[in-house]
Structure 1
Amino acid sequence: MNEEQAMDRAVMLAMAARPHPNPRVGCVLLDADGTVVGEGFHEKAGEAHAERIALDSAKGPVHTAVVTLEPCTHHGRTPPCTEALIEAGVKRVAIGSVDPDDRVSGSGIKVLEEAGIEVAVVGPDIGDIDPGYAHHRRTGRPRVLLKLAATLDGQTATASGESRWITGEQARLAAHRLRAQSDAVVVGMGTVLADNPRLDVRIEGFIGPQPRPVVISGTRPMPADHSMVDPLIYAPSDGRSEVDLSDVLIDLGGRGYLNVMVEGGPTLAAAIWKAGLVDDVVVFLAGRIAGGVGKPMLAGVFGSLSEARDVHISGASLVGKDLMVKGSVI
């Protein structure tokens, strides 16, 4: 196996877990002939890192370590991976990208090179493997996905607020898959009062971590009979009438929630969109037409074309009878 093939395998291993607030990392070890002698991935924060798991599994001498992210140098809940690689007598380390975390960012490469180990940065970037981690380390806030659903003529609910169900079963399953990729799911108090959502992942066979339910409550109290497990509630403070959504995201990032999905409703969706805090969008368009005016996907007035923001559409696919459109904000 050459290094490019080993990196492909390491990426696949890294994607097997979501160890936030730590990054996804995979590692493949090769001997001098290019034979795989060990591999591993970081499964959960506080547990062994990918490099140490791979080294512990090694079935022979290690010449090259192929790892998706620069090995760490700091003592956290686990010891530095650079130490393990040096102690194992590794001769070369091929890394996907430099770690954007200020505690590492180049220091891992420096330590390895000072120990006489050859280091090469070969890609892919950590942003391709773990966008939430990369975004948080570079901006200080989580990566935000705004999920919207509406009829073909843009109605997300009836005038009275009825929305179950605008989309079909397959679209709702796809939405649960998005939740499964998220560390936290955010809604406004209007959605809580109208739908009493659970905000959890309900997919048969799912055993991954559940996202943390988050409610932007405004001035209305949380109902005592809500269906969420351990929701995180943000209410206005210091005499304000509204919650500062930028502060909310910074706090969520500090709690280790790096992939955040906003599910609405229209008032929250509009507020976080107009604040410029959305990074990605997924819009489900139901195969039906409402035929009248109910509730829009985003509340408020569209007063000028200059207010619109461009979205790079990265994909569109049928999910059952509905259409799922994915994009990133430009």
Structure 2
Amino acid sequence: MSTDEEFMLHALQLAKRGFGHVAPNPAVGAVIVANNGRVIGEGWHERFGGLHAERNAFAHCTDDTTGATLYVTLEPCCHWGKTPPCTDIIIEKKIGRVVVGSMDPNPLVAGKGVQLLREAGIEVVTGVCKQACDDVNRPFFHFITHKRPYVILKYAMTLDGKIATRTGASKWITGEEARFRVHQDRNRYSAVCVGVGTVRADDPRLTCRIEGGTNPLRVIVDSHLSTSLDSTLVRTAADVRTLIATCEASEEARAPFVAAGVEVARLPGADGRVDIDALLDYLGAKGIDSMIVEGGATLAASFLEGGFVDEVNAYIAPKIFGGEGAKGPVAGQGVSDPGQAYRFGAPFIVQLGSDVMLRAYADRGAEGGDN
């Protein structure tokens, strides 16, 4: 591993500290290294509207930065937003070399930041640890390009592909390490989505239960507005932001939910069910850059059939439930031929105690399927 890669990986760890606090901005880390190889400043984008990573790094640096190297996981911005351009302070501080992980797809930047630095006589190296830097900001890249959330389909299943026993019992398929990872993701991503069937069956909280974590927006897809007013999600809506997407037209039917603090969005589709396409546009307009779809099997099918799934996180436990009546993670009609399968790239494997998590990204260039 090169020295540049080592410092960039350090910057990446800093960037991840912004998870749950910076969306819909990107998570960015920055490290300033003197010519003798000593780190003299570091920082990350800590919260939406706050200083960018580069400016935080300079704010925590008391040494002379003339000729130093700046490592930053994302191309420095060159435009005014909630804060001044980062390229300005990099030039002002007389940095001699800038090493960049990902290029910024934001049209306001998109190579212009690197160009300005080079025009100022600063050496710029791009693409260091690019894949790792890109992965950290997949939701941001998707959101800035499509103006709608990056969608992660998540489920836990047994070795024989069951998400519950024949009686419907599902707690717990995976162990504590896997469940902790789920809460880390609820902190990282902006929303979590379930169908009304999951609300009725499990009465979930859908909160982030890790210290210092941020609760995601809780989204219920409920075409006929049959969610119980006594459900945990409705009872806690005054404290944790909650949205119900429905086809229900009656203001009288919606009123008790609104009174409980629930945001109700009427998004009817032509088939009498919630229009998922319209839901994603609605969330995007509200700045929701990412969403985990956690259940159930019918909702998973709706997202897959529409081609809306960008990533799958499949948690697999070394257990077998068996049973013809035990459900799998995806319902719906399904495809009639293997060639029509929803395609994803080769999965990455994450070991979580005795369980594993397979992460696969949508392969929209593959033949067959809508995804």
**TM-score, normalised with respect to structure 2:** 0.79
Q: Aligned residue for 1:60?
A: 63
Query: Quick one: which amino acid aligns to residue 217 of structure 1?
Result: D
Q: Hey, what does 2:245 align to over in structure 1?
A: 234
Give, as a single letter, the amino acid of the residue that structure 2 aligns with 1:128.
Answer: D
In 1, Cα distance between equivalents of 2:176 and 2:122 = 53
> Match for residue 40 of structure 2?
37
* Secondary structure of the corresponding residue to residue 14 of structure 1: helix
Tell me the equivalent position of 2:321.
Answer: 289
> Corresponding residue for 1:247?
278
Matched residue, 1:153: 160
Letter in 2 for 1:197: P
Give the C-alpha shift of residue 239 in structure 1: 5.5
Q: Where does residue 72 of structure 1 map in the other structure?
A: 77
CA positional deviation for 1:194: 2.0
- Which residue of the partner structure matches residue 85 of structure 1? 90
C-alpha separation between the residues in 1 aligned to 2:71 and 2:51?
Answer: 17
- List gaps (5 residues or longer) in structure 1: none
Asked if 2 retains the 8 angstrom alpha-carbon contact of 1:186 and 1:264, the reply is: yes
Residue among 163, 171, 192 paired with 2:170: 163
1:96, distance to aligned residue in structure 2 (A): 1.5
RMSD of aligned C-alpha atoms?
Answer: 2.5
Q: Secondary structure at the match of 1:127?
A: helix
The question of whether the paired residues in 2 share the 8 Å contact of 1:2 and 1:34 is answered with no
Secondary structure of the residue aligned to 1:65 is: strand
TM-aligned CA distance change 1:296 to 1:80, over 3 Å: same
Distance in 2 (alpha carbons) for counterparts of 1:5 and 1:160: 51
The structural deviation recorded for 1:56 is 1.4
Quote the residue 2:288 is aligned against: 257
Taking the aligned partners of 2:56 and 2:352, their CA distance within structure 1 comes to 40
Amino acid of the residue matched to residue 61 of structure 1?
D
Q: Which amino acid is 2:41 matched to?
A: G
Q: Mark the CA change 1:34 to 1:242 in structure 2 (over 3 Å): closer, same or farther.
A: same
Correspondence for 1:305: 338
Q: Give a deviation string over 1:245-267, Cα, whole Å, max 9, x none.
A: 22322333343333321111111
Corresponding position: 1:191 with 2:194? no
Q: How far does residue 45 in structure 1 lie from its aligned partner after superposition?
A: 0.7
Q: For residues 319-330 of structure 1, what are the structure 2 equivalents within 5 Å?
A: 319-320=353-354, 322-330=355-363
Cα deviation per residue 1:59-82 (whole Å; 9 max; x = unaligned)? 222122221111112222111111
Q: Say if 1:116 and 1:146 are closer, same or farther in 2 by CA, change over 3 A.
A: same
Cα distance in 1 between the residues matched to 2:228 and 2:244: 12
Stretch deviating more after TM superposition (34-43 or 109-118): 109-118
Do 2:44 and 2:54's aligned partners in 1 also have CA atoms closer than 8 Å? yes
Matched position secondary structure for 1:72:
coil
Q: What's 2:12 paired with? A: 11
Matched-pair identity in %: 39
Q: Matched residues in 2 for 1:14 and 1:169: separation?
A: 26
Q: Aligned match of 2:29 in 26, 29, 36?
A: 26
The question of whether the paired residues in 2 share the 8 Å contact of 1:186 and 1:260 is answered with yes
| Secondary structure at 1:297 match in 2 | coil
Q: Is the 8 A contact 1:148 1:264 kept in 2?
A: yes
Moved more, 7-16 or 133-142: 133-142
Q: Distance in 2 between matches of 1:212 and 1:316?
A: 26
> 2:253 maps to which residue?
none
Q: Which amino acid aligns with 2:135?
A: D
What letter corresponds to residue 263 of structure 1 in structure 2?
Answer: E
Q: Which moved more, 1:8-17 or 1:288-297?
A: 288-297
Pairwise CA distance, 1:52: 0.8
The alignment status of 1:266 with 2:297, answered yes or no, reads yes
Looking at structure 2, the residues matched to 175 and 94 of structure 1 have their Cα atoms a distance apart, in angstroms, of 33
Aligned partner letter, 1:231: T
| SS of structure 1 residue aligned to 2:347 | strand
> Number of residue pairs matched?
327
Structure 1 residues 224 and 153, CA gap change in structure 2 (3 angstroms)? same
State the AA in 1 paired with 2:57: A
Q: CA deviation at 1:167?
A: 4.3
Question: Does structure 2 conserve the Cα–Cα contact (< 8 Å) formed by 1:151 and 1:290?
Answer: no
Deviation per CA, 1:94-130: give whole Å up to 9, x if none.
Answer: 2222211112112212332333333221423342332
Q: Please report how far the alpha carbon of residue 304 of structure 1 lies from its aligned counterpart in structure 2 after TM superposition.
A: 2.3
Aligned partners of 1:188, 1:216: CA distance in 2, in Å? 5
